[in-house]
Amino acid sequence: MRLAALALLLGVGACESPRIMPVSVVWMDWPAEVAPDDPFRTRLVVGQPCALIRGFEASPTADASAVTFAPYFVADKGEINCVDGAGATSELLVTWTIDTAGMAPGLPAAGERTYEMRSAAGPSCPACVALNTAPWVTFGEVTVRPTLPQPNASRNAAGYVIAQRDSTGCWRIRPSGLSSPDADIVMDDPRDTTIQVYGFVQGFIYEPAAPVCGATRVFHLVVPEMIRMERNRPDA
């Protein structure tokens, strides 16, 4: 039903079926707490393949234990082969990421409980697949509470980031592949002293009692040992 509706929206005729190109989630953040059966907005940073893109679908599903996003792009049949740094060409080459979102389905809960937040391990992020042997990557958890969450509650967050210290000594992370200055998030308690690192982090975004490095929304690192040091990464 979802693909039929998407085809109708894009004006795809019966004789011209679109190509479906799965991608991986590079970064995800979501409310730390939600009410039962209440859909919630989840920020997704995903890799974009080198193709004639016609549409995007976050493709969220939920079961008894988790919410899983399996995002994909809808593309024209015409091929575009981008060239990487080594001169190789591929339509699956991901040279940039986009900042988007998806609505997670409402989650049932008779009492307080947690669900995992996952993403399908797509072909555009081989390193994501290496995190575990499952066909998905687990980014963290969301708590479902019968009582209403606080209006300024924190957001859980996880993904691949560039972590860098600026000229004032402040540390910031940025979802891998995003280049806009407003993509940076200040870290309140950095655990490393190098100039720049790349890796997978888990934590939460919250409003501190006083600004940190001028920021009123900051990232707190919860799982520092998951950062894999890859200094001077060429695509940082």
What are the strands of the beta sheet with 60-62, ordered from one edge? 33-34, 136-144, 113-120, 66-69, 60-62
State residue 189's pLDDT score. Answer: 76
State residue 5's pLDDT score. Answer: 40
User: Residue 84: which pLDDT band, with cuts at 50, 70 and 90?
Assistant: low
Tens digits of residue pLDDT in 220-234: 988 754 444 444 443
Tens digits of residue pLDDT in 9-55: 444 444 457 778 888 899 999 999 999 999 999 999 998 877 777 88
State residue 196's pLDDT score. Answer: 63
Q: Where are the beta strands (DSSP E) in the chain?
A: 19-22, 25-31, 33-34, 40-49, 53-57, 60-62, 66-69, 72-75, 82-83, 89-90, 94-104, 113-120, 136-144, 155-165, 171-175, 185-187, 196-206, 218-221
Q: Of 148, 152, 126, 139, give the one whose Cα is nearest residue 217.
A: 152
The token pair that represents 85 in the structure block: 């740094």
What are the strands of the beta sheet with 19-22, ordered from one edge? 19-22, 72-75, 53-57
What is the residue-averaged pLDDT of the chain?
78
**Do the beta carbons of residue 187 and residue 208 sit within 8 Å?**
no
The token pair that represents 159 in the structure block: 């993904």
